[in-house]
Amino acid sequence: MKLQATGSAPAGHAEAAIHDDFRNAVLAGLAARPRAIPAKFLYDAEGSRLFDAITRLDDYYPTRTELGILEACAPEIARLAGPGAVLVEFGSGSSTKIRLLLDALEEPAAYLPIDISGEHLLRACRALARDYPALTVQPVVGDFTRSLSLPPLDRGRHVLGFFPGSTIGNFTPEEAGQFLGQAALTLGPGASFVLGVDLVKPAHILRAAYDDAKGVTAAFNLNLLRRINRELGGTFDLARFAHKIVWNEALDRIEMHLESLADQTVSVAGTSFAFAAGETIHTENSYKYRLDAFTGLAFSAGWRPLAHWTDEQALFSVHFLRRD
C-alpha cells in the first residue's frame, strides 16, 4: 500500500483553517440579506455520508448516469491521456468514479484527491490504496476554492485532472470560469481535464432529484444546522426549519434553502439572529448547463474542448479538455 500523508500543510492545520472559514462564513451569511452559506460547508463527515446516500437514490439521476457515461468513454479517455498519468481529483468524496479511470488507464502513476471533508477523504483513500497497491495515493485535505498547497506534480508525466459529479455546477458560471482558469494553472501546460457536467432538463426530473421521496436530501440540507450547533455553539431547532428547493428557470439552477417555519431567534457563537416565518437561508446552487455553454466557458478559461459524451437521454455530460 502506498498511501502517503501529504499536503504540504498537516491535516490538522487544514482542518483548523476550514473551521475558521466556516465560522466566518456562517456569521457573515446569517447577517446578510438574503441569508446564504456556501455549499462547501454541507460536507462534514455526516454530510459526506448523507451525500453518498443521495447518490444511491432512484430519484437522484446524476450519479448513475455519469457512471454509465464514464464506463462507456473510459477507454477513449485512457487513449487521450496516455500511459503513466498523474491524476488530480477535485472534490473526490468516496473516490468511486476514479476507479473506472484507474481500471482503464495504462499504469497510472499517482492519485491526488482533494477534499474539504477530511475524515471521509482519508477513509476513502485507505480503501483505494488497498485495492490499487501499485498506485501512490496522496490525499490533500483542503478547499479547492482557496490557494492549495499540493504535493509537487511530476512534470515529466501527463497530468490528468478529474472533477466529476457536476460539483462545478455548485459554482456560479462566473466562479466556474475562475475555477477552470485556476485549475489550468494548477494542472500545468499540456494537462488534460475530465469533468462531469449536469445538463438542463425538464423541471419535474430536477425537483424529484433535489427533493427526493425518502427525504435524504432534506436530511443532507438540515445537517448544516446540526453542524453549526455542534461546531459553532449554535441553537438551531431542526424541527423549526424545513428543506426547500426552487427551480430558478431564468438562471438554470436548482436552489436549496432552509426555510424558517416560525418567527424565532437563533444564536450562533454568541450572536443572535432573528428569523421571520418563511425566511430562508440559501445553502446551495446546482447550475445545469447546455453543452455549448459549458464548452464555451471552458474555452474562455484556457481549455481546448477535445471531446464530450452524454447518455442517450442527454441528462448528463462528461467533457475532455486539454490545455496547451
Site string for ligand SAH, 118-147 (x = CB under 6 A): -------------------------xxx--
Distance CA 203, CA 271 (A): 38
Minimum distance from residue 81 beta carbon to ligand AVI (Å): 23
- Please return the burial class of 229, using the count of CB atoms within 10 Å of its CB with bins 0-12, 13-18 and 19+: middle
Q: Does 34 sit behind a cis peptide bond, omega within 30 degrees of 0 on the bond before it?
A: yes
6 binds, among ligand AVI, ligand SAH, none (CB under 5 to 8 A by kind): none
Pick from 48, 138, 217, 280 the residue near ligand SAH by CB under 6 A.
Answer: 48
- State the minimum distance, in angstroms, from the CB of residue 136 to ligand SAH: 20
Binding mask 187-216 for ligand SAH (x = CB under 6 A): ------------------------------
Burial of 46 (0-12, 13-18, 19+ CB in 10 A): middle
Which partner in ligand SAH, ligand AVI, none is near 97 (CB below 5 to 8 A by kind)? ligand SAH
Binding letters toward ligand SAH, positions 53-92, x by CB under 6 A: --x-------x---------------------------xx
Q: Name which of 138 and 166 has its Cβ closer to ligand AVI.
A: 166
Site residues, ligand AVI (CB under 6 A) = 54, 62, 165-167, 169-170, 210, 217, 284, 286
| Residue 48 vs 285, nearer CB to ligand SAH | 48
66: Cβ–Cβ under 8 A, 6 or more apart, which residues?
A: 97, 164, 165, 166, 196, 316, 318
CB 91 within 8 A of CB 121: no
Tell me the closest approach of the beta carbon of residue 118 to ligand AVI, in angstroms: 17
Q: What is the C-alpha radius of gyration for the chain, rounded to an integer number of angstroms?
A: 20
